[in-house]
Structure 1
Amino acid sequence: MQTSAFYGEMEVMENDVYDVIGVGIGPFNLGLAALLEPVTEIKSLFIEQKTKFEWHPGLLIAGSSIQVPFLADLVTMAEPCSQFSFLSYLKAKSRLYQFYFWEEFHIPRREYNHYCQWVAEHLSSCCFGQRVQAISWQEESQLFEVEIKDVKHNTSLIYHCKNLVLGVGSAPQIPACFQDIKSEHIFHSAEFLHRREIPRKSKSVTVIGSGQSAAEIFYELLQEQENYQYEINWCTRSSGFLPMEYSKLGLEHFSPDYIHYFYSLSPQKRDDLIKKQDLLYKGISISTISKIYDLLYERSVADNYPNIKLISGVEVKEVETINNRYRLSYRHSHQDEPFSHETDCIILATGYRHAIPDCIANIRDLMQWDEKGRYQVNFDYHLGLTKDIPNRIFVQNAELHTHGVGAPDLGLGCYRNSVIINTLTGKTVYPVKRQNVFQQFGIAA
């Protein structure tokens, strides 16, 4: 039975030791919570500071879809019969026939978000509106102590657990030349819908980046251009506005087989290889490119060429504020020539960086780090530790440098969670296969 005691303003939950506490509730930790629901021997708790599940809310643009098939939901690739599958969600919402007649494989991003919210509402292990303040290691009890702030009630709690899963997600990546400029007219693509009126009131809008988010924002701006009469500039340092690799054999890189191969390589070879694989996970979907081109073609009929400029191979080197506008200075990577223009609004679709949460400050010395300051991640997703203890710290989507391009892929979330659950229980709860694809990565031993 759970009891509690108060020390100052801190409520300590006594006799309530969790087998695992998850920090952050994004799709990956939510999937872990869902797959752990029927595993009665594991007592789990998942904590999120947001008041409800939200998956990139600033990019839930109408008409946008996730870039993986609906089978890459929270549970299906591990347990197709789970009550938390996307098909179960459709049945619960009386949408199975509509989905059946729709005949699409890639679902709307907004519906994926709503599906995740539905799952979260059915999991008692998921606690929203609570922020993990600090985590410490208790040598005497051989437990992690997790200090939590209840955002809504402004109270504090302390929990104890044997293992941790860090699933804090990533943070927007802001190029260095923009970091010292504070302006509501310069923002990351993650804030697009929250700041939708700013580009609408601008005479000139510039989108920087060439991934899926940049393309979706450009298309959204293009659709409204005739109403608001702004100029649109789309600039990227990439060599072109190129499609993501989506051939069937190319997709086999997002498999447990490739993870085994990639992990077997030396750290230097892994880093070199990742640099060459951008289009496996950073490009634009072919359907989005087609929609953009089709609209540009339609708008250019009868010599009415739209007021746009698309330039690749240019990197922003300097940003100046001039009379409430911004002058962007670039250099073209191939021609080695300067280029500049002025704009009123800048949308940075410049990707994300993997964040190391502040709450682990007290246990950083317990973790092993590589020479570049990254987590040392073992094959089964737990971190290398400096103490010989049975407790583990697992990571979600923080192992691109050790496990390869599949780390952020929703389709491999179930595989990673299966490995984590099997490791926690010491048995095969969710079977994982070594051979899943047709091709062979590397030379067989």
Structure 2
Amino acid sequence: MQHFTLFGVGIGPFNLSIAALARDIGELNAGFADAHSSMTWHPGLLLNDARMQTSPLKDMVTAVDPTNPLSFLSYLVSKRKIYAFMAAQMQTISRLEFADYLAWVASNIDNLMFDNPVEAIEFSDNKFVIHTNKGIFTSEHLCLGTGKRTHVPEFARPFVGEHCIHASTIGREDHDGKQRSYEGKTLAIIGGGQTGADVFLNLLQGQWGKPKKVIWISRRPNFQALDEGVFSDQYFTPNYGELFYGLDKEVKQREISQQKLTSDGITSVCLKDIYQHLYHETFIQGNVGKWVLQPHRTLTGLAKQGSGYCLTLVNGLTEKTEQCQVDELVFCTGYESSLPAYLGPIKDKLALDEKGDFQLNKAFRVKWNGPETNHIYAVNAGLNSHGILEPQLSLSAWRSATIINDLLGKSHFDLTQEVKLIDWGHKELQQETASSY
């Protein structure tokens, strides 16, 4: 029964960042397990021309350990494309290239156990007991990084299947190895964020055949651009994160709502590509009505109609109910939190909030009623406590270093903050005690 100092459940980018930073720390014996057979990152969304929204320097390690051999720059050198990359003058990279970078990082870390789903976690004799399909492991500490589940409106869940899908599967082949086809179909895309835009653009480019008609539906007032301003980017800095954590709950919720487009808008490049495609199709090729954009609509009902579906929408401007018929649907409606089933044996020890989510301290440590010497950390679980920076890749290296420093009880990584360009004000953090986290 192998014992670890830290055991990470799930090997997404966030736990991979911890693994990369912890790789050469001799006093930190870490292990990580994942149900997938290899390093994957939203494989169903690796679409043509889909791009990242963050700089490639916001990789797994660079922000806190720039000489780490698992940086994006090291990846470029290893792949023999550093000069070609510099000549390309790209501020962001494709999701395909970032996924390849993640796979390269994983290939250089030897304590990642793929094809090894965690089935249950118990706590006994001052250690966590992790049951997997390849055996049992023990660990002093845990880091939970199994991500979130796909979100589809509750009334639509009974219809999810071959012709009504969540976008997370759109790029995957079917069981027969065939690519998806929307040739001659009337299709609805639900969701006006970046994923909806990526799916719409790929349809414009004929990625899945030539559809008869595509209706892009969003409850947002328009197809809104990502707020990429240099000052908006200050939300994704440790300085702002430090202040945000100490704010009152009501203030946090207000700020998260107001900052939505800094993390959940559509890149200007993508919007421009879509508009130019629509201009060409409409005014040059004369395909009027083939591509329909319907913002300010909320999907309120879904019913089967023949071999297709009838959608009920409420127009936010006219307040009138509208209906449309489609052959297939793609939900680009994001993800939601859920308590992993493997935590069942220790669920009663976790201090969950009124929504059933983890309560995290400043160092991303989960509040629980176990011994003070055993910590549970969680990544991509602190939107309400740490703000919009927490689910994003922008501060993944900083968060990983924060967790490792907390685990070691010392500043292994220098997280001294740089000079602030914006004075956010000062807020005293609530006193945290080891007995409560």
Q: 1:320 to 1:436 in 2, by over 3 A?
A: farther
- Correspondences of 1:57-76 after superposition (within 5 Å): 57-76=43-62
Which residue in the other structure is 2:302 paired with? 319
- Correspondences of 1:3-402 after superposition (within 5 Å): 13=1, 16-138=2-124, 141-150=125-134, 157-194=135-172, 197-224=179-206, 228-302=210-284, 304-306=286-288, 307-402=290-385
Give 1:111 deviation, angstroms.
1.1
Distance 2:71 2:207 in 1: 39
Give 1:175 deviation, angstroms.
0.9
Amino acid at match of 2:402: V
Q: 1:393 to 1:17 in 2, by over 3 A?
A: same
C-alpha contact 1:202 1:344 (8 A) present in aligned 2 = no
Q: Percent identity?
A: 28
Residue in structure 1 matching 2:399, options 398, 409, 416 = 416
C-alpha contact 1:255 1:437 (8 A) present in aligned 2 = no
Amino acid at match of 1:337: K
Q: 1:213 to 1:260 in 2, by over 3 A?
A: same
Q: 1:62 to 1:302 in 2, by over 3 A?
A: closer
Amino acid at match of 1:118: W
**258-267 or 395-404: which moved more?**
258-267
Q: Superposition RMSD on alpha carbons, in Å?
A: 1.7
SS class of match (1:18)? strand
Give 1:355 deviation, angstroms.
3.0
Task: State the Cα deviation string for residues 411-439 of structure 1 (Å, max 9, x = none).
Answer: 20011001011011111111112345410
Distance 1:205 1:371 in 2: 38
Give 1:252 deviation, angstroms.
0.4
Give aligned pairs, total.
Answer: 423
C-alpha contact 2:337 2:357 (8 A) present in aligned 1 = no
Distance 2:337 2:54 in 1: 21
Q: 1:344 to 1:394 in 2, by over 3 A?
A: same
Q: 1:324 to 1:39 in 2, by over 3 A?
A: same
SS class of match (2:270)? helix
Amino acid at match of 2:112: C
**339-348 or 229-238: which moved more?**
229-238
Distance 1:387 1:226 in 2: 51
C-alpha contact 1:237 1:315 (8 A) present in aligned 2 = yes
Task: State the Cα deviation string for residues 324-362 of structure 1 (Å, max 9, x = none).
Answer: 010101111232100110001100000111232110111
SS class of match (1:224)? coil
Give 1:54 deviation, angstroms.
0.6
Distance 2:388 2:208 in 1: 39
C-alpha contact 2:5 2:29 (8 A) present in aligned 1 = yes
SS class of match (1:261)? helix
Distance 1:171 1:372 in 2: 15
Give me the TM-score of the superposition, normalised by structure 2: 0.93
Amino acid at match of 1:297: Y
Amino acid at match of 2:216: W
Amino acid at match of 1:431: D
Task: State the Cα deviation string for residues 161-196 of structure 1 (Å, max 9, x = none).
Answer: 000000111211111121111431000111111268
Task: State the Cα deviation string for residues 204-228 of structure 1 (Å, max 9, x = none).
Answer: 0110101111001000101118962
Distance 2:250 2:9 in 1: 30
Amino acid at match of 2:126: Q
Give 1:387 deviation, angstroms.
3.2
Distance 2:370 2:427 in 1: 34
SS class of match (1:145)? strand
Q: 1:149 to 1:202 in 2, by over 3 A?
A: farther
| Consecutive aligned runs of 4 or more in structure 1 exceeding 6 Å deviation | none
Q: 1:300 to 1:158 in 2, by over 3 A?
A: same
Amino acid at match of 1:269: V
Give 1:268 deviation, angstroms.
2.7
Distance 2:419 2:333 in 1: 33
Give 1:199 deviation, angstroms.
4.5
Distance 2:211 2:370 in 1: 62
Listed as ranges, the gaps of 5+ residues in structure 2 are 429-437
Residue in structure 2 matching 1:438, options 406, 414, 421 = 421
Give 1:272 deviation, angstroms.
3.0
Q: Which has the larger strand fraction?
A: 1
Amino acid at match of 1:91: V
Give 1:320 deviation, angstroms.
1.1
Amino acid at match of 2:379: Q
Give 1:371 deviation, angstroms.
2.1
SS class of match (1:30)? helix
Amino acid at match of 1:147: H
Amino acid at match of 1:168: T
**219-228 or 263-272: which moved more?**
219-228
Give 1:302 deviation, angstroms.
4.1
